[in-house]
Chain A
Amino acid sequence: MMRHARLAIVCAALLVVAAGTGTLFVVDTTEQAVVTRFGRPVRTCTVPGPYWKLPLVDRVTRLDARLLVTEPPPAEYLTLDKKNLVARTFLTWRVSDPLRYIQSVVFREAAEARLAAVTSSEIGAAFGAVPFDALVSADSATMRLGTILSQVEGRVRDAAERQFGITLVSLGLERLAFPQQNEASVFQRMRAERQRIAKRFRSEGDEQGVKIRAAADRERARILAKAQRKAAEIRGRAEAEAAHIYADALGQAPEFYRFLRTLESYDKFIDNNTTVILPADSPLMKSLLAGPPTKSEP
């Protein structure tokens, strides 16, 4: 028992001493490390865990193993058709080759500055080679922003890997905007466009309203015309039927009809402006004159 306890204590003491003197060091899961002996790199630790080194002689340089973010300041670019665009980019990256990283860039700030510079020049070249509507367009035929960005990303990735020992995970475009000084003219253009659209809506309303009214008027005329035709037909048939009835009846005694009709005609065409000269031997007067005297009125 006693011996075991002593052994454990001794081991623990040794560990504490090892750590205290710098023989043992731990690489965290968020880190990677390069061990240098008098400045000469002897070991690269990319897997987390405990590591041994020579005390006093070996130095440990720790680097971040996590995904890192760099946001270069927004920059203004010119497209092929001379339009200004402000692009705000961000880069996510990892240190993939710790040795090359510490040899080439030394500090994180330096790495970020170099990455930003490469990104800016690559984007400048890419945007300068395409028209504006390849970057911003509602038309999928011209829109190539995704492709252009992944091309830029590929070039920045190559440069970062080769020069700085950095793996570029992604190059993102957080924002595209018009430059501040263009804002007034952009808004002016937007207003003009809206006015045009508003005008179009109103004249469309007028046009359709007139069309609907005209169609209704035409339909009304059609309905009335149809009804009038039908009415005329009915009247015509009525006349025909009446004529038929008359013909049937009158055909029984045409001579008598002629007589009756003549009498009726007298009734109609003789009005109180008519002067009638009756021959004394007309049937009417004959009876009057020949018969026994009556009162003086005829």
Chain B
Amino acid sequence: MSGRLRMPAALRGSRLFTLGVVAAIVAWAASGFYTVPTTSLAVTRAFGVVVERAVPPGVHWWWPWPVGRVDRAEVTRTLTLSVGFLFSQEFRGMPSDPSLGRWLTGDTNVIQIRAKVNFRVADPATYLFGSERPEDILQLVVGAGFTAASSSLPVDDVLTSGRLALIERVRAHAQQRLDAWGVGLQVLAVNLEAVEPPQPVVAAFQDVQNARADRERLISEAEAYASGLLPTARGEADRAVNDAISFRDRRVNAARGDADRFTELAAEHRRAPAILERRLYLETAERVLPRVRRYVLDPGGAGLPVKIVE
């Protein structure tokens, strides 16, 4: 210790310098502390080489500039991309240029698509250093996906049943390319907000819908007619059969009644034929003669004048 005190002045100056340098180094080293927010991951580089690809949230130390660099990327946030319109114009309430969202379909119709693509940063290092303008690449790739899918589908499929298949094809198309090219983004979902005919032809497409409804209406009206007609017909049929059955009952019973009456008369006839026959004859005559014009004729002509009995 005493030796130090006896140092020459020049040496003491150099000691101050040393202290200063050490302090500077310490300050430089201390500037290497950095934080990573909860939503992000960090990537560290030393001399331009990526060292750690995904530093988790928290406080960490890494070589400060000029040796090292730290970059952060938000990975938990879902980002959204607009397809067929511009967010910037929508926020200002302006209508987007319709041609932005127009695609050709396989049957050379034009459709207007409006979609949002949800995506996130899948790998921070790839996202940060893999490509220039990753979001623009995603936009182009999604557009290409719509082009590839819609140019092979008929318009009616795109507008109705093919929608799910369409967005799945677009998603798969985009993701496959993002992965192959090293863009570091992950497509979470392609949400079709609207797939419709372009404004100038909307009415014509609507009329097809109406015509389809008309067809269904005409058919169901006819079915209602049929379902009303057949029960009535079955009712009529039933009545005809029942009428016949009741005719049979009447006819057979009448026959039985007549037969029974005859059987009884016949029995009586067997006992006293002449009396019965005479009685019946007279009864008939009594019934018949009062209503007719009668003449009595005496064929013997034995002086008996013909008497007209009125």
A, B assembled together: yes
- Give chain A's interface residues, CB within 8 Å of chain B: 5-6, 9, 12, 19, 26-31, 48-50, 64, 66-69, 71, 88, 90, 92, 132, 135-140, 143, 145-146, 169-170, 172-178, 180, 186-187, 189-191, 193-195, 197-202, 204-206, 208-213, 215-217, 219-220, 223-224, 226-228, 230-235, 237-239, 241-243, 245-246, 248-250, 252-253, 256-257, 259-260, 263-264, 266-267, 270-272, 274-281, 283-285, 298
Contact indicator B137/A195 (Cβ below 8 Å): no
Residues in B whose Cβ lies below 8 Å from that of A284? 281-282, 285, 289
- Selected from A90, A230, A239, A277, the residue in CB contact (under 8 A) with B251 is A239
Q: Does B189 contact A (CB under 8 A)?
A: no
Q: Check A29–B208 contact: CB distance below 8 A.
A: no
Q: Does B52 contact A (CB under 8 A)?
A: no
Whether the pair A237, B255 counts as a contact (CB closer than 8 A) is no
The 26 sampled A-B contact pairs (Cβ below 8 Å) are A9-B21, A26-B48, A27-B48, A29-B49, A30-B129, A66-B132, A138-B153, A170-B181, A186-B110, A194-B204, A200-B211, A201-B214, A202-B218, A205-B217, A209-B221, A216-B225, A223-B230, A224-B236, A228-B240, A241-B255, A250-B262, A259-B277, A264-B284, A275-B293, A276-B293, A280-B299
Chain A interface, DSSP helix/strand/loop, else mixed: helix
B145 CB to nearest A CB, Å: 9
> B284 touches which one: A26, A177, A235, A267 (CB < 8 A)?
A267
Contact B214 A205 (CB under 8 A): yes
For B291, what are the chain A residues with a Cβ–Cβ distance below 8 Å? 270-272
Which A residues are CB-close (under 8 A) to B212?
A: 201
Which residues in chain B, 117-158, are within 8 Å of chain A measured between CB atoms?
Answer: 129-133, 136-137, 140-141, 143-144, 147-148, 151-154, 157
Beyond contacts A205-B216, A238-B248: 6 other A-B pairs, Cβ-Cβ < 8 A, are A27-B48, A201-B214, A208-B222, A213-B226, A234-B248, A245-B256
**Are the CB atoms of A145 and B152 closer together than 8 Å?**
yes
Assembly CA distance A242 to B250 (angstroms): 10
Q: How far is the CB of A90 from chain B (nearest CB, A)?
A: 5
Task: Please measure, in the bound complex, the distance between the C-alpha atom of A260 and the C-alpha atom of B284, giving whole angstroms.
Answer: 10
Top 6 nearest A-B pairs by Cβ distance?
A138-B106, A227-B237, A205-B215, A249-B259, A216-B226, A238-B248
Instruction: Say yes or no: is B186 at the interface (Cβ < 8 Å to chain A).
Output: no
Q: Which residues of B have CB within 8 Å of A270?
A: 288, 291-292
**Out of B136, B215, B219, B278, which one reaches A69, CB within 8 Å?**
B136
In the bound assembly, the distance between CA atoms of A223 and B237 in angstroms comes to 7
Q: Contacts A205-B217, A231-B241, A231-B244 given: A143-B106 contact, CB under 8 Å?
A: yes
Which of chain A's residues have a CB closer than 8 A to the CB of B85?
A: none
Q: Are A209 and B207 in contact (CB under 8 A)?
A: no
Does any Cβ of A come within 8 Å of B183's Cβ? yes
Q: Does B194 contact A (CB under 8 A)?
A: no
Q: Is the CB of A249 within 8 A of B263?
A: yes
CA of A217 to CA of B157, assembled, Å: 38
Contact between chains at A190 and B219 (CB < 8 Å): no
B: number of interface residues (CB 8 Å): 116
B residues near A, CB below 8 A? 18, 21-22, 25, 45, 47-50, 66, 99, 102-110, 129-133, 136-137, 140-141, 143-144, 147-148, 151-154, 157, 177, 181-183, 197-198, 200-201, 204-205, 207-208, 210-212, 214-219, 221-223, 225-226, 229-230, 232-234, 236-238, 240-241, 243-245, 247-248, 251-252, 254-256, 258-260, 262-263, 265-266, 269-270, 273, 277-278, 280-282, 284-285, 287-289, 291-300, 304, 309
Known contacts: A194-B207, A276-B295, A279-B298. The answer to whether A136 contacts B151 by CB under 8 A is yes
Q: Are B281 and A263 in contact (CB under 8 A)?
A: yes
Residue numbers in A under 8 Å from B233 (CB-CB):
219-220, 223-224
- For the complex, what is the distance from the CA of A35 to the CA of B263, rounded to whole Å? 142
Distance, CA A250 to CA B221, complexed state (A): 61
Q: For A231, what are the chain B residues with a Cβ–Cβ distance below 8 Å? A: 240-241, 243-244
Contact at A197–B237, with CB atoms within 8 Å? no
A95 CB to closest chain B CB (Å) equals 12
Q: For A238, what are the chain B residues with a Cβ–Cβ distance below 8 Å? A: 244, 247-248, 251-252
For B131, list chain A residues within 8 Å (CB): 66-69, 92
Most chain B beta-carbon neighbours within 10 Å: one of A249, A250, A277, A284: A249
Could you tell me the distance between the alpha carbons of A169 and B178 in the complex, rounded to whole angstroms?
11
Alpha-carbon distance between A5 and B24 when the two chains are bound, in angstroms: 13
For A19, the chain B residues whose CB sits under 8 A away are 66
A45: shortest Cβ distance to chain B, in Å? 10
CB contact between A202 and one of B21, B102, B215, B243 (< 8 Å): that residue:
B215
**A140 proximity list for chain B (CB < 8 A):** 152
Shortest C-beta distance, A76 to chain B (Å), equals 14
Q: Which of A64, A170, A275 has the most CB of B within 10 A?
A: A170
